Amino acid sequence: MPTTLTAFADVTTSDSALRRFLHGLPGVDAVGLEARAASLGTRSIKTTAKAYAIDLAISMIDLTTLEGADTPGKVRALSAKAVNPDPTDRTTPMTAAVCVYPDMVATAKAALNGADVKIASVATAFPAGRAALPVKLADTRDAVAAGADEIDMVIDRGAFLAGRYLETYELIRTIKEACVREDGSAARLKVIFETGELSTYDNIRRASWIGMLAGADFIKTSTGKVGVNATPANTLLMLEAVRDFRAQTGIQIGVKPAGGIRTTKDAIKFLVLVNETVGEDWLSNHWFRFGASSLLNDLLMQRQKLSTGRYSGPDYVTVD
Amino acid sequence: MASVFEYAPAPESRSVVDIAPSYGLFIDGEFTDAADGKVFKTVSPSSEEVLAEVAQAGAADVDRAVKAARRAFEKWSALPGSERAKYLFRIARIIQERSRELAVLETLDNGKPIRETRDADLPLVAAHFFYYAGWADKLGHAGYGADPRPLGVAGQVIPWNFPLLMLAWKIAPALAAGNTVVLKPAETTPLSALFFADICRQAGLPKGVVNIIPGYGDAGAELVAHPDVNKVAFTGSTAVGKAIARQIAGTDKKVTLELGGKGANIVFDDAPIDQAVEGIVNGIFFNQGQVCCAGSRLLVQESIHDELLDSLKRRLSTLRLGDPLDKNTDIGAINSADQLARITALAETGEAEGAERWSPACELPSSGYWFAPTLFTNVTQAHTVARDEIFGPVLSVLTFRTPDEAVAKANNSQYGLSAGIWTEKGSRILAVANQLRAGVVWANTFNKFDPTSPFGGYKESGFGREGGRHGLEGYLDV
């Protein structure tokens, strides 16, 4: 399989070349996109399929705390939950990662104590991204140095909306370089578009292509800090983008919807989108993640329901 | 379909519908046997299981039904519109309340997936009755004079592809305008109409206002020819439509015909490709392509032909064919052995004439009537599969170079029922739509229906409009 970006080499040589390319992408019909997402939302996932989907969803969660009030205690509790989501059932899979602010990475690393749960850190002046480049770079390097396995950066929505696409592209490239560790390995880079601020589906498709061309390992919908976060429609659109990108370059890129996914029912709808849009190659936590916090407990309650036949209620899952 | 995420069977329960072993004709508010005692069996196309035995109407029964409708007409048409509206609103509400039962019934009798009966057929059926209920006391404002009069007895013959929806399209405007009706459902799908008869009783509809007479083509012909029928409404094949037109020539019967189609779905190079692919799939594989307005001819701009076909084939590979009662089924069964034979023969003709045939890997159930979703590429206007209505899940793909050529090819058909335009350019939508000789033109969507929107054909697709304000005209003496 070709794994090359050479076909797109001239696309990023100038602002105007990039603009021509992005505006030459097929448009998105909003009504049709939302109708398709809604129609896949009517799939009925029962019994064995539901059990599979619940475990898969748990294993795809980036268990997140991104509050001004985060303390080491909160992060330690979150990390313990990530490793051992359901103390009553040790067969429950671990979450994919914990997701914290850069200054909490060291705390999370100590708390996880080598468990197979990744540490994701937001960076680049999350969530607004309104800081100078040196600040964003320092933010990123700090998180990587503290032991982050993954960096969740935000794009400069201001630059994007002002039409400065190349600047948006260059920022991602620069942060990607800052993800490289001293030993030459690199943290995986997730690029957050804040789709709620980009507002149109055409913008989301263009931003997805900027991210993929610039070397994102994941493209991610949102910070969870604005009114509209992950939706089935914007996630479907981004799945179509990574599908098309792999078809043209051979490079596979992950997708992470984040924010607003709170129930098992919602999570399963997203997994159906993955299954029927990009297929089984993306059905693992290396290629698909949920940015969520309260989702996990709902998944655990549904998991208990499947294994015991009874709803146990919120007092039978841990509140952290 | 990804094998690691295999959807477990999710069948809708059959227990919500209670199908009796036998049904009579519904005449004058009562279920009765046929005069000659004839019956026929209706089977479930997905399993060939016999669902029920149904009385088969003959000439004497048609006459009895028309007489009952005539007797009921005087009082029914004299009711204030607001009173007729009450009955129609009541029927609409009962349909909503019984929608799950009716959806399962329709899926069993017709073979279409429960996803469609649940999400498309039944909501549209209820919406149609609600919509025309609203017109019943406003006929003076419909643009046909201050006090337009009904025609009398309407003889209605409907097809098997949307049994209950076609019934709604026929009965709702007829009753709203003050007519009484005799309706003959198709012989392969009589059950939902008979359940509708029960709903009429439940709603307290006066006797004789609605009469349902299941039967074959001979009963339909008797109904059309009956001298006391004032209005004939038919949805079905063009061949039968022509026969009806000949039959009623020289009479004063008013007629509307909604016949075949070979809809062109035109995809320009600036189309929203992913949504266009969905629209193409919905256009031809909705209801297994057994839709008169199906987008059975894909006209794609040559410059994006390969790219679009790749996307389309990938998408078709994810279609789920199987048990129509499974909530995850996209493609159900073909309605009858006869229809399956016709589709099979036409597809073979396509191959014989040199078109390239493609279907996704797709296992067909061992019993029942099934046909895999099929594409024909390298099709030209000269191919039979580009000209004849197949009425099955078979898409013919043709190319064009310019908008003018697209319009010329789209219009180069004996039919003119539907068309679709896919482009991000608004001005092109308007320009092309104005040149298309089709009753319905969809822009960046396909197979969307709404009771407020008139539906009908040009050329051999028929005449008269159903739905919307226009749909009243066919049932008023104007």
Q: In this predicted structure, what is the pLDDT of residue B4? A: 87
Q: In this predicted structure, what is the pLDDT of residue A312? A: 83
User: pTM score, two decimals?
Assistant: 0.96
Secondary structure (H, E, C), A122-152: EECCCCCCCCCHHHHHHHHHHHHHCCCCEEE
Does residue A1 sit within a domain? no
Best probe of the A interface among B1, B6, B7, B424, by most A CBs < 10 A, is B7
Whether B362 is catalytic is no
- What's the average model confidence in pLDDT over A135-139? 98
Q: Is A1 a residue whose pLDDT tops 90?
A: no
Give B259's contacts (C-beta < 8 A, 6+ positions apart).
B235, B236, B237, B238, B241, B292, B415, B417, B457, B460, B461, B462
CA distance B431 to chain A (A): 19
Residue spans of the domains in chain B: they are 14-259+461-473, 264-450
A43 to B327: CB separation less than 8 angstroms, yes or no = yes
B8 to A42: CB separation less than 8 angstroms, yes or no = no
A29 to B328: CB separation less than 8 angstroms, yes or no = no
A36 to B5: CB separation less than 8 angstroms, yes or no = no
The string of DSSP codes covering B263-285 is: -EEEE-TTS-HHHHHHHHHHHHH
Q: Is A2 a residue whose pLDDT tops 50?
A: no
The angle that helices B191-202 and B163-177 make with each other, rounded to 10 degrees, is 40
Give B246's contacts (C-beta < 8 A, 6+ positions apart).
none
* Given the residues B106, B187, B258, B473, the one annotated as active site: B258
Q: In this predicted structure, what is the pLDDT of residue B428? A: 98
A275 to B2: CB separation less than 8 angstroms, yes or no = yes
B chain contacts of residue A31, beta-carbon cutoff 8 Å: 275, 444-445
Does residue A86 sit within a domain? yes
Q: In this predicted structure, what is the pLDDT of residue B93? A: 98
Q: How many domains does chain A have?
A: 1
CA–CA distance, B73 with B78 (Å, rounded to integer): 8
CATH class as words, domain B264-450:
alpha beta
Q: In this predicted structure, what is the pLDDT of residue B90? A: 98
Which CATH code, of 3.40.605.10, 3.30.230.10, 1.10.3720.10, 3.90.25.10, is assigned to B14-259+461-473? 3.40.605.10
pLDDT level of residue A3 (50, 70, 90 thresholds): low
Which stretches of chain B score pLDDT less than 50? 1-2
Whether A183 is catalytic is no
B chain contacts of residue A240, beta-carbon cutoff 8 Å: 274
User: Please, are residues B82 and B136 in contact by the beta-carbon 8 Å criterion?
Assistant: yes
∠ Cα B416 B420 B424 (to 5°): 150
Bridge-based pairing state of the strands A218-220 and A188-192: parallel
> Which region, left, alpha or beta, applies to residue A154 given φ > 0 means left and ψ of -120 to 50 means alpha?
beta
Element (H, E) at B397: strand B394-400
Give B359's contacts (C-beta < 8 A, 6+ positions apart).
B316, B372, B373, B374, B375
Length of chain A: 320
* Given the residues A152, A202, A217, A266, the one annotated as active site: A152
pLDDT level of residue A100 (50, 70, 90 thresholds): very high
Q: Nearest 10 degrees: CA dihedral of B460, B466, B472, B478?
A: 0
Chain B residues whose C-beta is within 8 A of a chain A C-beta are: 1-10, 115, 119, 270-276, 278-279, 318, 327-328, 424, 444-445
CA–CA distance, B65 with B254 (Å, rounded to integer): 19
B chain contacts of residue A28, beta-carbon cutoff 8 Å: 272, 274-275
User: Please, are residues B285 and B373 in contact by the beta-carbon 8 Å criterion?
Assistant: yes
The two structure tokens encoding residue A276 = 């029927």
* Given the residues A190, A220, A266, A298, the one annotated as active site: A220
Answer positive or negative: Cα dihedral of A111, A113, A116, A120.
positive
Closest-CA residue of chain A to B423: A27
Half-sphere exposure at residue B184, Cβ-oriented, CA atoms within 13 angstroms: 29
Q: In this predicted structure, what is the pLDDT of residue B1? A: 42
Condensed to tens digits (0 to 9), the pLDDT of residues A58-81 reads 999 999 999 999 999 999 999 999
How many angstroms from the chain centroid is the CA of residue B51?
A: 22
Domain carrying residue A158: 32-307
The string of DSSP codes covering B149-170 is: PB-SEEEEE--SSSHHHHHHHH
Condensed to tens digits (0 to 9), the pLDDT of residues B312-342 reads 999 999 999 999 999 999 999 999 999 999 9
DSSP-derived 3-state class of residue A65: coil
A chain contacts of residue B328, beta-carbon cutoff 8 Å: 43-44
The two structure tokens encoding residue A151 = 């960096």
Does residue A132 sit within a domain? yes
| CB < 8 Å & 24+ apart, contacts of A277-284 | A277/A236, A277/A239, A277/A240, A277/A243, A278/A239, A278/A242, A278/A243, A279/B2, A280/B2, A280/B3, A280/B4, A280/B5, A281/A252, A282/A239, A282/A242, A282/A252, A282/A254, A282/A255, A283/A56, A283/B2, A283/B4, A283/B5, A284/A56, A284/A60
* Given the residues A81, A176, A256, A269, the one annotated as active site: A256
Does residue A24 sit within a domain? no
- Closest C-alpha among A245, A284, A218 to residue B2: A284
User: Which CATH number fits the domain that encloses residue A96?
Assistant: 3.20.20.70
A chain contacts of residue B444, beta-carbon cutoff 8 Å: 29, 31-32
The ipTM estimated for the assembled molecules is 0.95
User: What is chain A's mean pLDDT, rounded?
Assistant: 96
Look-up: residue for tokens 């396509």? B350
A chain contacts of residue B5, beta-carbon cutoff 8 Å: 49, 52-53, 56, 271, 275, 280, 283
Residue B160 to residues B166, B186, B329, B335, B391, Cα–Cα distance (Å)? 9, 5, 20, 8, 12
Q: Is A39 a residue whose pLDDT tops 70?
A: yes
B328 to A276: CB separation less than 8 angstroms, yes or no = no
Q: In this predicted structure, what is the pLDDT of residue A171? A: 98
* Given the residues B200, B222, B292, B460, the one annotated as active site: B292
B10 to A50: CB separation less than 8 angstroms, yes or no = no
User: Please, are residues B128 and B194 in contact by the beta-carbon 8 Å criterion?
Assistant: no
- Hey, which residues does B41 pair with through a beta bridge? B53
B10 to A45: CB separation less than 8 angstroms, yes or no = yes
How many angstroms from the chain centroid is the CA of residue A24?
A: 26
pLDDT level of residue A4 (50, 70, 90 thresholds): low
CA distance B446 to chain A (A): 10
Residue A46 to residues A52, A60, B275, B328, B411, Cα–Cα distance (Å)? 10, 20, 28, 11, 47
CA–CA distance, B304 with B315 (Å, rounded to integer): 16
Whether B258 is catalytic is yes
- What's the average model confidence in pLDDT over A98-112? 98
Q: Nearest 10 degrees: CA dihedral of A160, A166, A168, A173?
A: 170
Closest-CA residue of chain B to A278: B2
Q: In this predicted structure, what is the pLDDT of residue A313? A: 86
A chain contacts of residue B115, beta-carbon cutoff 8 Å: 42
User: Please, are residues B153 and B366 in contact by the beta-carbon 8 Å criterion?
Assistant: no
φ, ψ at B297 (rounded to 5°):
-115, 115
